[in-house]
Amino acid sequence: MINYSEHPHRRLNPLTNQWVLVSPHRAKRPWQGQTEKTVQADRPAYDPECYLCPGNKRASGPINDKYDSTFVFTNDFSALLEETPEGELNDGLFQAKAERGISRVICFSPNHNLTVPEMEVADIKKVVDLWVEEYETLGSKDFINHVQIFENKGAVMGCSNPHPHGQIWAQSSIPDEVSKESDAQYDYFNKNCKTLLGDYLESELEKQERIVVENDTFVALVPFWAVWPFETMILPKRNVQNITQLTEEEKLGFADIYKKLTIKYDNMFEVSFPYSAGIHQAPTDGLDHPEWALHMHFYPPLLRSASVKKFMVGYEMMANAQRDITAEQSAERLKKLSLVHYKKKIT
pLDDT of residue 41: 60
In a domain, 9, yes or no: no
pLDDT of residue 347: 57
In a domain, 134, yes or no: yes
Residues catalogued as catalytic: 165
- Mean pLDDT to the nearest integer, 303-331: 85
220 CB contacts (<8 Å, ≥6 apart)? 211, 212, 213, 214, 232, 233, 234, 257, 260, 261
Q: What is the dihedral of CA 236, 241, 244, 248, to 10 degrees?
A: -30
Question: What residues make up the domain containing 186?
Answer: 16-24+44-344
pLDDT of residue 36: 47
Residue 282 has pLDDT above 70, yes or no: yes
In a domain, 214, yes or no: yes
Q: Residue 155: which pLDDT band, with cuts at 50, 70 and 90?
A: confident
Would you put residue 17 in left (φ > 0), alpha (ψ -120 to 50) or beta? Answer: left
- Mean pLDDT to the nearest integer, 246-270: 97
**Which of 154, 110, 108 is closest to 131 using CA atoms?**
108
Question: In whole angstroms, what is the distance from residue 10 CA to residue 48 CA?
Answer: 50
pTM of the model: 0.94
Residue 37 has pLDDT above 60, yes or no: no
pLDDT of residue 40: 56
Portion of the chain with pLDDT greater than 90, in percent: 82
Residue 50 has pLDDT above 60, yes or no: yes
Q: Residue 154: which pLDDT band, with cuts at 50, 70 and 90?
A: confident
In tens, the pLDDT along 107-147 reads 999 999 999 999 999 999 999 999 999 999 999 999 999 99
In a domain, 2, yes or no: no
Residue 35 has pLDDT above 50, yes or no: no
Any idea what the CATH number is for the domain that residue 179 is in?
3.30.428.10
Per-residue three-class SS string for the chain = CCCCCCCCEEEEECCCCEEEEECHHHHHCCCCCCCCCCCCCCCCCCCCCCCCCCCCECCCCCECCCCCCCEEEECCCCCCECCCCCCEEEECCEEEECCEEEEEEEECCCCCCCCHHHCCHHHHHHHHHHHHHHHHHHHCCCCCCEEEEEEEECHHHCCCCCCCEEEEEEECCCCHHHHHHHHHHHHHHHHHCCCHHHHHHHHHHHHCCCEEEECCCEEEECCCCCCCCCCEEEEECCCCCCHHHCCHHHHHHHHHHHHHHHHHHHHHHCCCCCEEEEEECCCCCCCCCCCCCCEEEEECCEEEECCEECCCCCHHHHCCEEECCCHHHHHHHHHHCCCCCHHHCCC
In a domain, 38, yes or no: no
In a domain, 39, yes or no: no
The DSSP bridge partners found for residue 111 are: none
Residue 266 has pLDDT above 60, yes or no: yes
In a domain, 315, yes or no: yes
**Which of 251, 212, 211, 217 is closest to 121 using CA atoms?**
251
Residue 62 has pLDDT above 90, yes or no: yes
In a domain, 209, yes or no: yes
What is the residue-averaged pLDDT of the chain? 92
Portion of the chain with pLDDT greater than 70, in percent: 95
Total domains in the chain come to 1
Question: In whole angstroms, what is the distance from residue 103 CA to residue 148 CA?
Answer: 9
In tens, the pLDDT along 212-230 reads 999 999 999 999 999 999 9
pLDDT of residue 284: 97
Residue 28 has pLDDT above 80, yes or no: no
**Which of 256, 255, 298, 259 is closest to 275 using CA atoms?**
298
Q: Residue 30: which pLDDT band, with cuts at 50, 70 and 90?
A: very low
Question: In whole angstroms, what is the distance from residue 139 CA to residue 152 CA?
Answer: 22
